[in-house]
Amino acid sequence: MTDHMPSPSDAQADLIAYLDFHVEAGADAALDEHPHDRFSEADTPAPTLRAPRRAPPRIAESSATPVANTLVPPPGSAPPPASSSAAPRTFGRAASAQPDEAASDARARARQAKSLDELERILADFDACPLRFTAKNLVFADGNPEARVMFLGEAPGADEDRIGKPFMGRSGQLLDKMMKAIGLDRTSAYIGNIVPWRPPGNRNPTPQEVAVCRPFVERQIELVDPDIIVCLGAPATQTLTGSKDGILRTRGRLFPYKLPNREVKLLATLHPAFLLRQPVQKRLAWRDFRALRALIDGKA
Ligand code: URA
């Protein structure tokens, strides 16, 4: 029998793999010290149980129907109350900070950054967003900060979390191809996300998480100072424009985006992850990318 007993290090590795599996599946916090056998419990909930949490909505890109992610608050609006059932259980300061306090703290800190490097350092130290405790890496940006075009996605996935850069997985490969088709690459474009940490299990970031991260991405845009912002998908578009429309309504549209000293153009288009699921929609994205090329060339 002892032949088959795992050595302590094997047992540790098994335990870590088991925990990783649960984090991957979206379990972002331990609820109790001991496991519970829910099957042996009576139907009536124990008095100490919290109200059940609602699952967050699926991302707009996961559906052909334009799903207005109305949970993303428009710029300037107050974040939802702390008691919202969508708020995940969290660690560290993120556990105690009220979402609006965390968002105003984020705004104050983001404003302090005088350069992208400084912003990245401030973000790396920022502990009021629960996502940083489940993510492996901060995913700040890739590409050329001097570029005229800045692409923004929603949030990193597993590949980006592992590597620490945005758009590294299959969506990233498609984005690279789309950029290449109009003569862009990561030396001539800058790429970021609305939320710089991977939500566990690739769930949608909650409205609170978006509200807390938004000051940082807004400061990142100010520091890059691009001529054209390209929002990939509904969450990025809705967060930066305040529009509640689904991406199939907003794609191809140009929105004004205010920088401190000027107004630039924001183009909404489809997220590459959506195009991987709905390749037939690539023709629409192609139209948007041609419009982007014309904008870059000053012909639009
Ligand atoms: N999807 C995103 O929105 N961002 C990434 O970085 C990767 C996939």
**CA of residue 190 to ligand 1 center, whole Å:** 13
Domain 92-296 is in which class?
alpha beta
Q: How confident is the model at residue 118 (pLDDT cuts 50, 70, 90)?
A: very high
Phi and psi torsions of 267, nearest 5°: -105, 125
| Banded pLDDT at 294 (limits 50, 70, 90) | very high
- So what's the pLDDT on residue 76? 40
Q: Among the residues of 225-271, which ranges form H helices?
A: 234-241, 247-250
**For residue 233, which of 291, 290, 151 has the smallest C-alpha distance?**
151
Mean pLDDT of 66-91: 37
Cβ neighbours, 10 Å, residue 44? 7
**Which of 170, 171, 173, 231 most suits a substitution to test ligand 1, by most atoms within 8 Å of the C-beta?**
171
If pLDDT is split at 50, 70 and 90, which confidence band does 81 have? very low
Residue 28 has pLDDT above 60, yes or no: no
Non-local (6+) Cβ contacts of 273 within 8 A are: 59, 61, 170, 171, 233
CA separation for the pair 163, 52 (Å, rounded): 34
Question: Which tokens go with 135?
Answer: 């993510």
pLDDT, tens digit, for every residue of 182-235? Answer: 999 999 999 999 999 999 999 999 999 999 999 999 999 999 999 999 999 999
Q: Quick check: 167 pLDDT over 60?
A: yes
Alpha-carbon distance of 49 to 31, in angstroms, equals 10
For ligand 1, residues with CB inside 6 Å are 153-157, 160, 166-167, 171, 193, 273
- Closest ligand 1 atom to residue 171 Cα is 8
Q: How many residues does the chain have?
A: 300
- How many angstroms separate the CA atoms of 185 and 142, rounded? 11
Rounded distance from Cα 169 to ligand 1 centre (Å): 8
Local confidence band at 38 (pLDDT 50, 70, 90 cut-offs): low
Q: Give the number of the atom of ligand 1 that is nearest the alpha carbon of residue 236.
A: 3
d(CA 291, CA 276): 21
Ligand 1 centre to CA of 196 (Å) is 9
The predicted pLDDT at position 59 comes to: 39
Nearest-atom index, ligand 1, CA of 232:
3
33 — pLDDT class (breaks 50, 70, 90) = low
Residue 237 has a pLDDT of 98
Residue 7 tokens, joined: 């050595």
* Average pLDDT score over residue span 43-61: 41
Question: Which residues partner with 257 through β-bridges?
Answer: 264
pLDDT band at 40 (very low <50, low <70, confident <90, very high): low
